[in-house]
Amino acid sequence: RTTVVNGLKDRAQDLRKSFIDSLEEDIRDFLINEAELHTYDDLTKVNPVTPSTVLKCLQARYSAKVFYTHAGCTLVALNPFQPIPHLYSLDVMREYHAAPQPQEFKPHIFIVAEEAYRNVQGQVEPMNQSLVVSGESGAGKTWTSRCLMKYYATVAASSQKCQDTVEKIERRVLGSNPIMEAFGNACTLRNSNSSRFGKYIQLQLNGSVLLSLRFTHEHEPEMMKGATEKQRLEWMLPLDQDFAWLPHAEKTLEEDCLQETVEAMINLGIDESKRTQIFRILAGLLQLGNVDFRPASEEAQTCDLDEHSKGKTADLLQVPLDELQSCLTVRTLHAGKQNVLKPCSQSECSVRRDCLAKVIYAQLFDWLVTFINNSMCADSSMWCNFIGLLDVYGFECFLLNNLEQLCINYANEKLQQHFVAHYLKAQQEEYVTEGLQWSFIRYQDNQGCLDLIEGSPSSIFSLLNEDCRLNRASDAKQFCVRLQKELSHNASISWDKFSKQPHFTVAHYADKVSYQIEGMMEKNKDPVPPELISLLQNSQDSLLHSLFADGDHESEGLRGHSKVVTVVSKFRNSLESLMKILHSTTPHYTRCIKPNPDCRPLTFKREEVIAQLEACGIVETINISAAGFPIRSWLVRREIRKWHKAASVIQTKWRRWRVWMDALAEAELDDAEDFIENEASSALPKLDRLLKERGSVQLSSIQEPVMVRGWPIGLAMTSAPSITVSLTATGFQRIMSMMACLKIPFRNGEYKVKTNQFDQGVASIRAQPRGSIKVHLQRSPLLYADMHPVHKTDVVTGFNQILLERP
């Protein structure tokens, strides 16, 4: 008898071992395999989907020199900061273009390009497309936009037989880039060629080919040869002169792509006399930047100006020298019908100088954009659809933030709202097409934050504008008090009680940002002294004169004659028109990520990347994809099938173990119960540990095994008032089905469910015949799927963290 019993014990132990081992293997199968992280093409497939695993996956891919990864319907582009041979070659472009299913290729910006291209020429319902490229400064937006444009130029050209036409199309599509970059970019601490503007470019198509639009280009290559010296003379820019407004004095003009810019201007039809005028005006601005002011010896006198620079500025801008001097140093005050002249202080003079430069530069930039648009835009009768390309500055948070950051972050807030709406809509449509039953929760969107910034009747913008209309000196402290009085009901605004500076903090979708109020109202008014405008209207330079000729300038408003158009109003209007276009198109999102702050090749800094993933909404995307998990139902089905297979193996082994246990119990051994308990207590903690390690599961509040109907097969809930299970949607789903397979009893009842993402819901958990568990969560996303032919279990999806409260 002893021999038999010992044999049974040995057998049972073996079986238990094999059960646990296979469990370990099966669990490993479901959770990410770190060695293979770089093979995950879609971040929402990483399991569990948490910011940390997503980060690991991106890092693994970056180390393996894989720079593109999908994140649901978004493409994440990591900047390699070094040329990657062959990644963007013509052959690769053609491959993606010719592929029957490009989305099955490795993630690439060309998939996005091709998808939009195919959609826009859809046979049934061609739809305008928008490609939204975002990311922080230096992340690679301009690069990506250029890549997309090059792709379309190549694709459009490939349908043309004539090489000449191919080149023309390329020139047309890419031609404006050097000009826009030369005028709109600047060398900043973060990026030596940083775009200082957001741009939306429409590539217009007539059905299937990119239009070869009106061409008005001239070829004047001879003009370029050796022209630099002559031009320097003409522009009064001697080689040895330093300029206060050029950060890299050591750089020569040639290095700053002058040649390329001029060629682009020629291609776009900017004739020689206009080019000369443009460069003279720019040279005039450089000289203006060198104008210094010396304080006057007496208060009633005006500041002195640096003779040399002031003379050159007046010559280049073709304005009267004395008028230039007086409008920089004297302010005209209107007292009733009388004008009173008041000398400006040294710092006021500098502000006026900077203001003059800014207003000229801004008008010139606008003129260029209009010119390029007129030159490139086809007659509306010639095109029917377009692909829009939006290259937009990303979310910003510095040590000190002011109106610029508020506007930029507001734009990003709008885009994020558009993104979330589009993303959820896309998912819901997919569920419907797949015939899946689903219920969807309302996703917590950022409308509250947008109301705070732009809403009516009271918002930050409306209060800023009101302050501006009052036409009195602004007081930051008073404004802060007004904000507190009018807006403190909005949960998205707060104030740091310990900060001495007047400020407000906005909880953006990406992060909290504290904005200083000092200077904000002045920036919103952005006043241009009227004397400066009259000076420019008197310029003998026909271009400069025409830029200011219409007299419709904001300075008018300051004199109280017409409505003041503030910076935030202008920004909001322009954003509104952009959003209108975006809403009428199918969007495609590309999020560019800067893997390190120093632009070092192939260097991945985790903390940098995670901050950007949060700021550009990827973490949100992951959360949303968890909320609506799965994005692609085939993915779940495949996962579920895999799990079923493993579960049934586990179950078989478990059953066999139980048979041995039965045999032991039947043998009525004195020590049977002890033995069974020992077995169970060594098996279950191991399971707990495994899950903890691999799936970020905290099963700590699930107790040691308990005896249920004499069997040590239960994990039960604690007697504590709540049980916290911190795991992903898929993790939870697996635990549930595993518990079902293992016949782990859940007490039937209603449980309150709290998650880290959604409001409270109610879960009813009911044991089903044959040991499965039915979990029903109200007001939460549920995906009904066939779990198992035997154990039909409703699958709970959508949480990173769930709190089940005991009834």
Ligand X SMILES: Nc1ncnc2c1ncn2[C@@H]1O[C@H](COP(=O)(O)OP(=O)(O)OP(=O)(O)O)[C@@H](O)[C@H]1O
Asked if residue 136 belongs to a known ligand binding site, the reply is: yes
* Residue 576 annotated as binding site: no
The residues in 367-406 that bind ligand X, with binding defined as CB under 6 A, are 393
Give the nearer residue to ligand X in terms of CB position, either 58 or 697: 58
Q: What is the CB neighbour count within 10 angstroms for residue 26?
A: 19
The residue to which tokens 């020992």 are assigned: 678
Give the number of other CB atoms < 10 A from CB of residue 256: 15
Stretch that binds ligand X, among 132-140, 327-335, 451-459, 667-675 (CB under 6 A): 132-140
- DSSP class of residue 744 equals P
Please pick, from the candidates 72, 102, 107, 135, the single residue that binds ligand X as defined by CB under 6 A. 135
Pick 191 or 474: Cβ nearer ligand X: 191
For ligand X, the closer of residues 108 and 353 by Cβ is 108
* Contact status: 69 vs ligand X (CB under 6 A): no
Q: Is 482 helix (H, G, I), strand (E, B) or coil?
A: helix
CA 224 to CA 259: how far, in whole Å?
7
Closer CB to ligand X, 78 or 763, in the complex: 78
| From 57-65, 133-141, 604-612, 634-642, span contacting ligand X (CB under 6 A) | 133-141
The alpha carbon dihedral of 618, 623, 624, 626 has a sign of positive
> Which string of x and - marks every residue 585-624 that binds ligand X (by CB under 6 A)?
-------x--------------------------------
Kindly report the number of other CB atoms within 10 A of residue 252's CB atom. Answer: 12
Cβ of residue 193: shortest distance to ligand X, in angstroms? Answer: 5
- Residue 608 Cβ, how far from ligand X at the closest point, in Å? 14
CB 62 within 8 A of CB 593: no
According to DSSP, the residues that pair with 61 across neighbouring strands are none
The pair of three-digit structure tokens given for residue 415, joined into one six-digit string = 């885009």
Nearest to ligand X of 195, 313 (CB atom) = 195
Pick the closest to residue 404 from 198, 145, 554, 144 (CA basis).
198
Pairing of strands 801-805, 795-796: unpaired
Residue 771 region by backbone torsions, left for phi larger than 0, else alpha for psi between -120 and 50, else beta = left
139 in a labelled binding site: yes
Helix axes 618-627, 606-615, angle to 10 degrees: 60
> Hey, what are 227's tokens?
């022209």
CB nearer to ligand X: give 137 or 701. 137
CB of 180 to ligand X, least distance (A): 11
Chain positions 177 to 236 lying near ligand X, rule: CB under 6 A, are 191, 193-195
Write out the binding residues for ligand X, residues 74-93 only, by CB under 6 A: 79-84
CB of 80 to ligand X, least distance (A): 5
Q: Is the dihedral of CA 386, 389, 395, 399 positive or negative?
A: negative
Is 551 part of any known ligand binding site?
Answer: no
Length of the chain: 807
DSSP, collapsed to helix, strand or coil, labels residue 48 as coil
Between the alpha carbon of residue 104 and those of residues 45, 67, 388, 460, the distances in Å are 15, 16, 24, 46
Is 135 marked as binding a ligand? yes
Query: At closest approach, how far in Å is the CB of 119 from ligand X?
Result: 24
Say whether residue 267 binds ligand X (CB under 6 A).
no
Decide if 777 contacts 441 (C-beta within 8 A): no
Minimum separation from the CB atom of position 394 to ligand X (A): 7
Tell me whether residue 44 or residue 191 sits nearer to ligand X (CB atom): 191
Check residue 138 for interaction with ligand X (CB under 6 A).
Answer: yes
| Closer of 189 and 470 to ligand X (Cβ) | 189
Measured from the CB of residue 83, what is the shortest distance to ligand X in angstroms? 5
Name the minimum Å distance from CB 74 to ligand X. Answer: 16
What is the smallest separation between the CB atom of 195 and ligand X, expressed in angstroms?
A: 3
The DSSP line for 577-611 is HHHHHHHTSEEEEEEEE-S-TT--TT---HHHHHH
How far apart, in whole angstroms, are the C-alpha atoms of residue 691 and residue 700? 11
One-character DSSP codes across 412-469: HHHHHHHHHHHHHHHHHHHHHHTT--EE-PPP--SHHHHHHHH-SSS-HHHHHHHHHH
Choose one: 73-81, 680-688, 744-752, 797-805; the region binding ligand X (CB under 6 A).
Answer: 73-81
142 is in an annotated binding site: yes
Pick the closer one to ligand X by CB: 396 or 531.
Answer: 396
* 141 forms part of the interface with ligand X (CB under 6 A): yes
Count of residues in contact with ligand X, rule CB under 6 A = 20
Is 141 known to sit in a ligand binding site? yes
The residues binding ligand X (CB under 6 A) are 79-84, 135, 137-143, 191, 193-195, 393, 592
Query: Which parts are annotated binding residues for ATP?
Result: 135-142
